[in-house]
């Protein structure tokens, strides 16, 4: 069955919006995705029919809410092929999931002289938690460099990982360049030296089929809102043996087995890591988002986006010498994320001009300042696609860029 993008689009109410008199062309999916009706309906249904706190009420509403909340966990576990629901911890977002590891695992396992290997294309959320940890513990951070073509220097990875390396933390897909990294190889390289491996899946989980057992990673972090779900929900997958040994991250209600005045014992996995009332409604709606993606099939989503990315790379390339595209130029090597510079126009001016044509793109450093420095630019414009975007929308992007170019003329290239 071929991928029916028109049918998909009908599920997203926001896609019929008009902005500045033009149909919305939403190309900021790497920041957050739009939500299908099914996800929005799930939120409304929870609040109108069975809103109650979970894991404690003896009444029907609470039982219903608990059941649907835990079903969402099962769906997520299946979606990334986790061996069990115990390995799926709900957090607020990817950032909190990574911080959970940095605190609960990092504080017990990283000491002076230890090394953590990252890459130069990490999002700040997979960089700053490790900087904090390294500073506190006297550990050292090492970075795999980004090559001119936007891929990682994997040969260098092997020379950076050694007996002192305790953790390798890397993205599976760059939020700036779209680069897909060879995660299985990275995991093997880490394990060969006895180090653990955390994968930042904030971009990849939304766009690629992910199988954590096949990847072999120890931790995998991602966010619901980038994959059709609501904001305020993230997921940490962790290998069960590791999670069992880790102390809690936050203390409070629901994460305990029993509490006396001076001490407490911890609840079972995954509840040990979910202190306090969680984001019940949004987790439930995230379950719908996962169902939606599973129905479409992540292979089909990837295929659609790959075709769209190839089309966009070609169309943007036709803008001539005025356009500079950062990162891999082949759709096989990357997700649907294209960072570029055009006509010497500052990305913010470009973003504003495109907005008036209905086109929403991102302009800025994309929470990856070290990568911006590597690229030698203060900021880039970024178009990023998702399963509902079309070739026609890419055409609108290109024509809006041409209009912006005509509007700003030969703006000074400030140095």
Catalytic residues, which ones?
367
Q: CA–CA separation, 351 vs 360, rounded Å? A: 7
Establish if 407 lies at the interface with another protein (CB under 8 A). yes
Nearer of residues 125 and 204 to another protein, judged by Cβ: 125
In the complex, least distance from residue 383 CB atom to another protein, rounded to whole angstroms: 17
Here the tokens at position 113 are 């002289």
Q: Of 120, 220, 232, nearest to 176 (Cα)?
A: 120
**Binding pattern to another protein, positions 65-94, x when CB under 8 A?**
------------------------------
Nearer of residues 55 and 403 to another protein, judged by Cβ: 403
Cβ–Cβ under 8 Å, residues 173 and 180: yes
Nearer of residues 57 and 344 to another protein, judged by Cβ: 344
Residues in 321-350 at the binding interface with another protein, rule: CB under 8 A: 346-349
Nearer of residues 21 and 163 to another protein, judged by Cβ: 21
Give the burial string for 390-404 (b: 16+ CB within 10 Å, else e).
Answer: beebbebbbebbeeb
Count CA within 13 A, CB hemisphere, residue 183: 28
Q: CA–CA separation, 3 vs 107, rounded Å? A: 47
Residue 414, Cβ density class (10 Å: 0-12 exposed, 13-18 middle, ≥19 buried)? exposed
Cβ–Cβ under 8 Å, residues 180 and 215: no
In the complex, least distance from residue 352 CB atom to another protein, rounded to whole angstroms: 7
Q: Provide CB contacts within 8 A for 66, sequence distance 6+.
A: 54, 55, 57
In the complex, least distance from residue 409 CB atom to another protein, rounded to whole angstroms: 7
In the complex, least distance from residue 346 CB atom to another protein, rounded to whole angstroms: 4
Establish if 180 lies at the interface with another protein (CB under 8 A). no
Q: Which stretch binds another protein (CB under 8 A): 49-57, 148-156, 200-208, 405-413?
A: 405-413
- Which SS3 state, helix, strand or coil, does residue 179 take? strand
| DSSP string covering 277-288 | S--HHHHHHHHH
Establish if 148 lies at the interface with another protein (CB under 8 A). no
Establish if 412 lies at the interface with another protein (CB under 8 A). yes
Q: Which stretch binds another protein (CB under 8 A): 71-79, 160-168, 263-271, 407-415?
A: 407-415
Establish if 17 lies at the interface with another protein (CB under 8 A). no
Beta strands in 6-114 (DSSP E): 18-19, 22-23, 25-26, 88-91
Q: CA–CA separation, 53 vs 61, rounded Å? A: 8
In the complex, least distance from residue 28 CB atom to another protein, rounded to whole angstroms: 14
**Binding pattern to another protein, positions 18-57, x when CB under 8 A?**
--xxx-----------------------------------
Nearer of residues 10 and 346 to another protein, judged by Cβ: 346
Q: Of 184, 51, 173, 54, nearest to 123 (Cα)?
A: 173
**How does strand 337-342 pair with strand 140-144?**
unpaired
Nearer of residues 281 and 345 to another protein, judged by Cβ: 345
Q: Which stretch binds another protein (CB under 8 A): 27-35, 212-220, 236-244, 400-408?
A: 400-408
Nearer of residues 321 and 409 to another protein, judged by Cβ: 409
Residues in 345-384 at the binding interface with another protein, rule: CB under 8 A: 346-349, 352-353, 356-358, 363-365, 369, 372, 377-379
Residues in 244-273 at the binding interface with another protein, rule: CB under 8 A: none
In the complex, least distance from residue 295 CB atom to another protein, rounded to whole angstroms: 37
| Cβ count near 318 (within 10 Å) | 8
- Sign of the Cα torsion 118, 123, 124, 128 reads negative
Nearer of residues 101 and 375 to another protein, judged by Cβ: 375
In the complex, least distance from residue 345 CB atom to another protein, rounded to whole angstroms: 8
In the complex, least distance from residue 365 CB atom to another protein, rounded to whole angstroms: 6
Cβ–Cβ under 8 Å, residues 81 and 104: no
List of residues contacting another protein (CB under 8 A): 20-22, 346-349, 352-353, 356-358, 363-365, 369, 372, 377-379, 403-404, 407-412, 414-415
């Amino acid at each position: 069955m071929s991928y029916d993008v028109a049918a998909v689009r009908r599920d997203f109410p926001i896609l019929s919006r008009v902005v500045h008199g033009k149909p919305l062309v939403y190309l900021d999916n790497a920041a957050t995705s739009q939500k299908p009706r099914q996800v929005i309906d799930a939120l409304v249904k929870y609040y109108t029919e069975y809103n109650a706190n979970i894991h404690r009420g003896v009444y029907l509403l609470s039982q219903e809410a608990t059941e649907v909340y835990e079903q969402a966990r099962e769906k997520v576990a299946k979606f990334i092929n986790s061996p069990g629901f115990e390995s799926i911890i709900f957090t607020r977002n990817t950032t909190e999931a990574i911080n959970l590891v940095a605190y609960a695992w990092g504080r017990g396992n990283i000491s002076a002289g230890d090394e953590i290997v990252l890459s130069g294309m990490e999002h700040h959320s997979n960089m700053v938690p490790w900087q904090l940890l390294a500073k506190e513990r006297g550990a050292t951070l090492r970075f795999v460099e980004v090559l001119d073509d936007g891929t990682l220097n994997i040969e260098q990875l092997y020379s950076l990982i050694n007996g002192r390396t305790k953790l390798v933390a890397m993205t599976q897909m760059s939020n700036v360049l779209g680069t897909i990294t060879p995660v299985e190889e990275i995991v093997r390289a880490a394990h060969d030296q006895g180090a653990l491996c955390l994968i930042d899946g904030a971009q990849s989980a939304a766009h690629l089929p992910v199988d954590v057992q096949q990847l072999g990673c120890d931790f995998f972090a991602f966010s619901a809102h980038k994959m059709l779900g609501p904001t305020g929900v993230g997921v940490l997958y962790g290998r069960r043996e590791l999670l069992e040994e880790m102390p809690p991250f936050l203390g409070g209600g629901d994460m305990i087995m029993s509490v006396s005045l001076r001490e407490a014992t911890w609840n079972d996995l995954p509840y040990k890591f979910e202190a306090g009332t969680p984001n019940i409604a949004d987790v439930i709606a995230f379950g719908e988002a996962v169902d939606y993606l599973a129905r479409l099939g992540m292979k089909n989503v990837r295929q659609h986006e790959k075709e769209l990315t190839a089309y966009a790379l070609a169309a943007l390339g036709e803008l001539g010498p005025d356009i500079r595209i950062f990162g891999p130029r082949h759709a096989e090597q990357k997700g649907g994320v294209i960072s570029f510079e055009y006509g010497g126009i500052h990305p913010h001016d470009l973003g504003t001009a495109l907005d008036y044509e209905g086109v929403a793109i991102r302009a800025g450093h994309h929470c990856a300042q070290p990568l911006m420095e590597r690229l030698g630019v203060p900021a880039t414009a970024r178009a990023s696609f998702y399963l509902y975007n079309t070739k026609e929308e890419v055409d609108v992007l290109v024509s809006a860029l041409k209009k912006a170019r005509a509007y700003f003329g030969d703006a000074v290239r400030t140095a």
